[in-house]
Amino acid sequence: DAGVIQSPRHEVTEMGQEVTLRCKPISGHNSLFWYRQTMMRGLELLIYFNNNVPIDDSGMPEDRFSAKMPNASFSTLKIQPSEPRDSAVYFCASRYSQVSNQPQHFGDGTRLSIL
């Protein structure tokens, strides 16, 4: 079975540009999570969806960040305008259900560099 698929794997762009990160969760999973990982702050939860509905976006750093999940098989995380401090690895993860001890399955991440 295919795991969580993220694209692109790497993105390098200049500050001020719009960045869109994409995620395809595992089929049948109804919870989706976006994380950001940096050396300084570790792995931080940005937002998560349950059944395509945003449940908690308290981790989204600023209004420049937005996330959508138009259907069960696709989600995007958008940064507009991007800034150098947004440079990080962004992970998407999905989970079968909202039951707390279910495992999250992570994609391989998008390494984002804002120049």
Partner 1 sequence: TQLLEQSPQFLSIQEGENLTVYCNSSSVFSSLQWYRQEPGEGPVLLVTVVTGGEVKKLKRLTFQFGDARKDSSLHITAAQPGDTGLYLCAGVDSGTYKYIFGTGTRLKVLA
Does 43 bind partner 1 (CB under 8 A)? Our answer is: yes
Specify the 3-state DSSP secondary structure of 88: strand
Angle, vertex CA 79, rays to CA 9 and CA 47, nearest 5: 85
Spatial contact of 113 and 8, defined as CB atoms under 8 Å apart: no
Should residue 4 be labelled a site residue for partner 1 when binding is judged by CB under 8 A?
yes
Give 15 or 43: the residue with its C-beta nearer to partner 1: 43
- The smaller minimum CB distance to partner 1, of residues 14 and 40, is found at 40
Query: Is residue 70 within 8 Å of residue 1, measured between CB atoms?
Result: no
What DSSP string runs through 17-58?
--EEEEEEPPTT--EEEEEEEETTTEEEEEEEEETTEEEE-T
If one asks whether residue 77 binds partner 1 (CB under 8 A), the answer comes out as no
Size of the site for partner 1 (CB under 8 A): 23
71: contact with partner 1 by CB under 8 A: no
Smaller CB separation from partner 1, 71 or 100:
100
Backbone angles phi, psi at 107, to 5 degrees: -80, 180
User: Which residue among 13, 45, 57, 78 contacts partner 1 (CB under 8 A)?
Assistant: 45
Residues of this chain that bind partner 1 (CB under 8 A): 4, 31, 33, 35, 42-45, 48, 55-56, 91, 93, 98, 100-101, 103-109
